Structure 1
Amino acid sequence: MNAIDSESFLLPQIHGRSIFKRVIPTVNYLERTFKSLEQNRWSYTDLKSWEQQIIKGYALQDIIHELRTEDQQSKVSIVRNQILKHNANDLGTYPLAIYLIVYFIQQTESNQYKSFVEFAQDNGITQNLNSISAIWSCGTKDGKYLGILDDSLKIIDIDFLHIWANSTPSSIRKEKLKITVSTAPPLTESSYNDHMECFKASINEAPRFTGVNSFKWSEYVMGKEYDIPQAFNKKFDRLQVWDYCGNSTNTDLDALLVVLSWGGMDRKHAKSLLNNPGPVLDIVRGLRSEKFKSRKEAFEYIQDKRKQGLLPGMGIGYFTKLICFLQPSLNGYIMDQWLAKSVNLLLGNPLIHIASKTWVSDQNTPAIYEEFCTYIDNLASEIGKSGFDTEEFLFSIGGRKKGMWRGHVVQHY
């Protein structure tokens, strides 16, 4: 699912901008600036000059009215979206300081200030200790505020920086700010008929996707000391995943492992997610106990946890798998890149936001997910199949011998 590999290292430049030059901010932090805005009745012109700098640095000056009535979590989401919309060359030093701190932690495997001083001096960023302290303070504090670092300065959302780095917002042609969204070609009546005809013909293939060996995958993720059920020693197909998760005698953790291994989640991502399993197991318990009244409600609940940085390594493509398999009564479908591209192609418009051509981005809202699922429901009625069967037909088969529909999507999207 994840085209953006969280194992890979950040580069020492982003959008052509070096992270070793012009990265020294004035000491200030988002949280403190928002408090100052409240005290000044959200008047940008009444801020101190150094406070205005951080607002400009995150390109917030034109959307202050949006921040005024939002809670902290929503403010965080707005700032993150502003970063993703902008070329690094058009932002100030503050988001670059976060990027630099994460780059440093990856390169040195250290989160100690003393090591950062040496790193900054060795890489020619600056020899001035006050300037180094400013980068460290701003980068770490805003990094924690935005859910990229935790309180111990562990990286908990490297995916966000990869999405930003792999997007291509133009600093010259402003209309290209939406280039992070992969769009389907314009739909004419002729092309719609061609797409739909191909999709309907592909149904005869009756594809059945199987995942990797769940035992081997789980052994890597959980370690050999974990008592992995022998039932895991196979490649599950979709029906077997539903059967396993629907059996209440199987633990929540084992049900989660089956879903993630079936989907082939990157094992390093899974280890990161399960380093603190509480938040994701809370989701699993809620879904298996049918806590949620609608798929939209379930999506919103899980997305909120992701925005809080509680689901490192798990994006929309994977957490919708939890909705699909753990509370199937919701008819919540998997919104990964292939389902998203399929629906976008048939609709002829980019309903689902796809960043860097392969990543179902965090810009997708619960309302978009509901519209996506509703489209599949309607398509299912049209072809006389169940929603889940239709979802599987849309997913098709990948690999070297692609299914008819997958090949069509690759060719036309």
Structure 2
Amino acid sequence: MIEKHVAVFIKANKTPPTFDMAAAEGEGPRSWFKPVKDLAHNVICGELDVSTNRARLLSMAANRDFDIDEVCVSILAWGGMRPANRNRLFERDASPWLKVAELVRSGKLDRRSAYQRFAMLRSQKERPMRGMGPAYFTKLIYFLMPEASAKGYILDQWAGLSMNLISGTPLVKMDEQVSWKLKSKSFERSITSRVSDVNTAEDYDRYCEAVECLSRQLGPEWMPDQTERALMSGSGEPWRQHVVGERFGSLPALTVFDEN
């Protein structure tokens, strides 16, 4: 691990994040699912919650009073899946990926096998998982895996970028696009990133192991999923600012040519 980045991470996170049952996080499942509830997905949900959070979702996933459909919809809503991707996902039969989700929930797949099964569905020509890539199906893996198992952790763009920075290697393969804008007579550069579909189950397992390794380095009061949450950070927070700054710093400098 690159110690200078670990030091910044520790400074930005004095204590582990807490998962508060009373917190309202992400988008509410009820309002998020309403625009697609009548599409041809065959998902059956009762009255979804108005709001949810990480602690609530972990509790729901462990409670068999909640059907797999309701739990998965709540997870995807909490994760903030964009409306366009939500619509693509639910305009088709959801049963192929819900069956894999149920296997994960039942403890029949370890994190590597779960990732592989979702990734295989994602790659099929019929596209049963159009709209749901690794950043979202790893959310299903994290919440649905029983606590007794070696958990799989959420791998979104910020967690992936963070672990790449801390490890000093492209541990997670990212698809990235750089755009330029003219703002106030100067050029401004922005990057969009997403976790690439070419990441394998082995890549995901290595990422999870790296999260666990970093967690051990932080101390006994840290659990790996708290470490993963801190890696995601939030917009404008110190760790996120560090990741953004270092990401820009890794790009070639802008060259301006004199036209005269």
Interval containing the TM-score (normalised by the shorter chain): 0.7 to 0.9
Shift of 1:393: 0.9
Verify: 1:277 aligned to 2:94, yes or no: yes
1:227 shift after superposition: 7.7
Contact kept, 8 Å, 1:215 with 1:230, in 2: the verdict is: yes
Q: Which residue of 2 aligns with 1:198?
A: 8
Relative to 1, partners in 2 of residues 1:287 and 1:368: Cα closer, same or farther, differing over 3 Å?
same
Counterpart in 2 of 1:215? 30
More strand by share: 2
Displacement of 1:257 after TM fit?
0.6
- Quick one: percent identity of the two aligned structures? 30
Distance (Å, rounded) in 2 between the aligned partners of 1:221 and 1:409: 35
Letter in 1 for 2:10: K
Name whichever structure is richer in helix by fraction: 1
Q: Distance in 2 between matches of 1:405 and 1:291?
A: 36
For residues 18 and 246 of structure 2, the distance between their equivalents in structure 1, rounded to whole angstroms, comes to: 20
The Cα offsets for residues 97-149 of structure 1, whole Å up to 9 and x where unpaired, read as: xxxxxxxxxxxxxxxxxxxxxxxxxxxxxxxxxxxxxxxxxxxxxxxxxxxxx
- Secondary structure of 2:26's match? strand
For 1:382, the equivalent position in structure 2 comes to 217
- Candidates 343, 356, 360, aligned match of 2:163: 343
Q: Please name the residue that 2:67 is paired with.
A: 251
Give me the whole-angstrom Cα distance separating, in 2, the residues matched to 1:227 and 1:282: 14
Match of 1:411 in 2: 245
Deviation, 1:270, is 1.9
Q: Is the 1:207–1:397 Cα contact (8 Å) retained in structure 2?
A: no
The alpha-carbon deviation at position 262 of structure 1 amounts to 0.4
1:368 aligned to 200, 203, 207, which one?
203
RMSD after superposition: 2.1
Map Cα deviations across residues 23-45 of structure 1 (whole Å, 9 max, x no partner): xxxxxxxxxxxxxxxxxxxxxxx
Structure 2: runs of 5 or more not aligned: 177-191, 248-260
Mapping for residues 249-328 of structure 1, pairs under 5 Å? 249-274=65-90, 275-292=92-109, 294-308=110-124, 309-328=127-146
Q: Distance in 2 between matches of 1:253 and 1:271?
A: 16
SS for the counterpart of 1:378 is helix
Q: 1:239 to 1:271 in 2, by over 3 A?
A: same
- TM-score by structure 2 length? 0.77
Structure 1 residue 230: Cα displacement: 4.5
Deviates more, 1:368-377 or 1:352-361: 352-361
Note the C-alpha offset of 1:267: 2.3
- Cα distance in 2, alignment partners of residues 252 and 231 from structure 1: 13
Matches within 5 A, 1:8-27: none
Report the AA paired with residue 244 of structure 1. Answer: M
Q: Which runs of 5+ in 1 are unaligned?
A: 1-186
Give the Cα separation in 2 of the matches to 1:287 and 1:353. Answer: 24
Matching of residue 332 in structure 1 with residue 152 in structure 2: yes
Deviations 1:210-261 (A, max 9, x none): 211221101122149x985445112x22111111122111111101111100
Aligned to 1:232: 49
Structure 1: which 4+ aligned runs deviate by more than 4 Å? 226-231
Structure 2 SS opposite 1:332: coil
Q: Cα distance, 1:207 vs. partner?
A: 7.0
Change (3 A) 1:277 1:203: same
Letter in 2 for 1:340: G
Structure 1 pair 220–396 and aligned structure 2 pair: CA distance change class (3 A): same
- Give the one of 233, 237, 241 matched to 1:396: 233
Write the distance in 1 (CA, Å) between the matches of 2:13 and 2:228: 11
TM superposition shift of 1:314: 0.8
Larger Rg: 1
Q: Do the aligned residues in 2 keep the contact of 1:222 with 1:271 (CA within 8 Å)?
A: no
Contact 2:159/2:231 (<8 A) preserved: yes
Structure 1, residues 148-169: CA drift from partner, whole Å, max 9, x if none? xxxxxxxxxxxxxxxxxxxxxx
The 3-state SS of whatever aligns with 1:355 is strand
Q: Distance in 1 between matches of 2:44 and 2:217?
A: 46
In structure 2, the partner of 1:176 is none
Write the letter of the residue equivalent to 2:243.
V
For 2:154 and 2:240, locate their aligned partners in 1 and report how far apart those are by CA, in whole Å. 16
Are 1:288 and 1:327, in contact at CA under 8 Å, matched by a contact in 2?
yes
What CA distance in whole angstroms lies between the structure 1 residues aligned with 2:44 and 2:133? 27
